[in-house]
Amino acid sequence: MAILQRQNTLTNPTHIDEWDRDHSWHPFTQMEEYCSVPQLHVERGQGCWLWDTEGNRYLDGNASIWTNAHGHNEPDINAALVEQIGKIAHSTYLGLSHPVGAKLGKRLVDLAPESLNRVVFSDNGSNAIEIALKLSFQYWQLVGKPEKRLIVGMENGYHGDTFGTMAAGNSDAFHGRFQPWLFESLKFAAPECSELDGKVKSADMGKSLCQLEEVLEANAPQIAAVVLEPSIQGPAGMRLQPAGFLKEVETLCKRNEVHLILDEVFVGCGRTGSVFACQQEGVDPDFLCLAKGLTAGYLPLAATLTTEKIYEAFLGAFDTGRAFYHGHTFTGNPLAASVALKSLEKLERLISSGRLEKTIYYFGRKLAESFEGQRNVGDIRQRGLAAAIDLQPRQGCVPWPPNDRVGLKVCLEARKHGLLLRPLLDSILIVPPLVINQEEIDFLFDNLRTALEAVMKNIGN
């Protein structure tokens, strides 16, 4: 009886609100602010849509934090998951294998640039980068160059929230306070590029490449690797790189005998129109890190791809201690691997059929049409299915104080119009599932525009 009563209260939405407020601690969230605005509990999803506990429907405008590819509750992926769960949900990858893990490793290597032939699985993006950093560090020790241990990161880089990734990254706003605990790393300027609907509005990579060249030439014997997010720095607000930039970075790394680690946690798996972003420039990195979209937004899984040359340096008799001691309990989880395999199969069809390209084209068009020249819109950046709209006060007005939370206000207003988005300060980031259709793109931008106009009117802009 007591158990029955408890189950009843567990499904009562009023309690869910209360329990969430009383006991949850949400990441990247000022909880004081969170508790002061209406809560939203997502209960189910279908395609690009989400429903909350009160039955309201929302378009998933940020693909459930940049992960969803083929829609929610997708029949083929569900079937792959059900098939795998009927066999086994989890078995370790430490010293053992399983068929879906082996298949996924082979599939990733087939899809990836030529140089990459080995896959280390883990379970989130930060780990994928952390593993690449540690593999690079250990590699140089194993080949007799232990002094090569500095990491070079790019301005505005974000690679995760663990200590190694914070040190390699450059997100002062998020991580500045942890500086005293971070290992030393070098930085170089990011290039500049504004692009929308396939048209480059401005671009400059000269300063960035000069700085990288200087840093490498002055310190190469001490540098292990350069790490960056190719094509788009998503978490920094969709900051773009001009075409040709990555190829130049690759050339500089090769010339200076420094590893190139590409963080494709965000841009990988179709986001920019190809399976991997680095393929658009024919770049062959030493490490390629994947997570977010790898399982189409279903389950946590990450992969760090690397070369046979690096792998071979770790081989030897047991007592040489050359093995790589970094693994997570749920590394290469079979459920997640089965979903990733199915998702990659569907992604290849989405690309080869031309559908993804058409979607990207329409997304760029509609975004430009809806917001270019708008009074409170500054720069708009878009590449692939990723976009940012920088909001700004009307000309001549003083900048909005941060506590005005204009970006958040626009996103909260958008909710009332059936649209879920997450701001980055006063920028609105838009990252829909890869299968979003034209009607849904219209819905997205029409309602975002309505929300933006309503908020501007309200705050007197």
Ligand X SMILES: *Cc1c(COP(=O)(O)O)cnc(C)c1O
Note the residues at the interface with ligand X (CB under 6 A): 124-126, 158-160, 229, 234-235, 263, 265-266, 291-292
Nearest distance from C-beta of residue 166 to ligand X, angstroms:
11
In this structure, how many other beta carbons lie within 10 angstroms of the beta carbon of residue 46?
Answer: 12
CB closer to ligand X, 263 vs 286: 263
**Whole-angstrom Cα distance, residue 134 to residue 225?**
10
Residue 196: half-sphere exposure toward Cβ, Cα within 13 Å: 20
Compute and round to an integer the Cα radius of gyration of the chain. Answer: 23
Nearest distance from C-beta of residue 382 to ligand X, angstroms:
17
Nearest distance from C-beta of residue 124 to ligand X, angstroms:
4
**Whole-angstrom Cα distance, residue 441 to residue 286?**
37
**Whole-angstrom Cα distance, residue 429 to residue 200?**
19
Q: Is 137 helix (H, G, I), strand (E, B) or coil?
A: helix
Nearest residue to ligand X, by Cβ distance, number only: 125
**Whole-angstrom Cα distance, residue 182 to residue 171?**
13
Contact criterion met (CB below 8 Å) for 223 and 184: no
Nearest to 140 by CA among 131, 152, 148: 148
Token output for 414: 């958008």
Nearest distance from C-beta of residue 263 to ligand X, angstroms:
5
CB closer to ligand X, 142 vs 289: 289
Nearest distance from C-beta of residue 185 to ligand X, angstroms:
15
CB closer to ligand X, 268 vs 393: 268
Contact criterion met (CB below 8 Å) for 232 and 216: no
CB closer to ligand X, 125 vs 273: 125
In this structure, how many other beta carbons lie within 10 angstroms of the beta carbon of residue 405?
Answer: 18
The three-state DSSP-derived secondary structure of 263-280 is ECCCCCCCCCCCCCHHHH
DSSP per-residue codes, 369-392: HHHTT-TTEEEEEEETTEEEEEE-
Task: Write the single-letter amino acid at 298.
Answer: Y
CB closer to ligand X, 302 vs 406: 302
Contact criterion met (CB below 8 Å) for 68 and 58: no
DSSP per-residue codes, 58-83: EEETTHHHHT-SS-BS-HHHHHHHHH
DSSP per-residue codes, 25-51: --TT--HHHHTTS----EEEEEBTEEE
Where do the DSSP E strands lie in 135-176? 150-154
CB closer to ligand X, 259 vs 292: 292
CB closer to ligand X, 326 vs 449: 326
**Whole-angstrom Cα distance, residue 17 to residue 39?**
7
- Tracing tokens 């690449």 back to the chain, one arrives at 132
CB closer to ligand X, 160 vs 332: 160
Nearest distance from C-beta of residue 409 to ligand X, angstroms:
25
CB closer to ligand X, 226 vs 265: 265
Nearest distance from C-beta of residue 153 to ligand X, angstroms:
12
Q: Count how many residues are written for the chain.
A: 461
CB closer to ligand X, 212 vs 299: 299
Nearest distance from C-beta of residue 71 to ligand X, angstroms:
20
Nearest distance from C-beta of residue 125 to ligand X, angstroms:
2
CB closer to ligand X, 158 vs 400: 158
**Whole-angstrom Cα distance, residue 275 to residue 273?**
7
Residue 41: half-sphere exposure toward Cβ, Cα within 13 Å: 15
Nearest distance from C-beta of residue 395 to ligand X, angstroms:
33
Nearest distance from C-beta of residue 337 to ligand X, angstroms:
16
To which H or E segment does residue 119 belong?
Answer: strand 116-122
Nearest distance from C-beta of residue 266 to ligand X, angstroms:
4
CB closer to ligand X, 266 vs 330: 266
CA 361 distance to own-chain centroid:
21
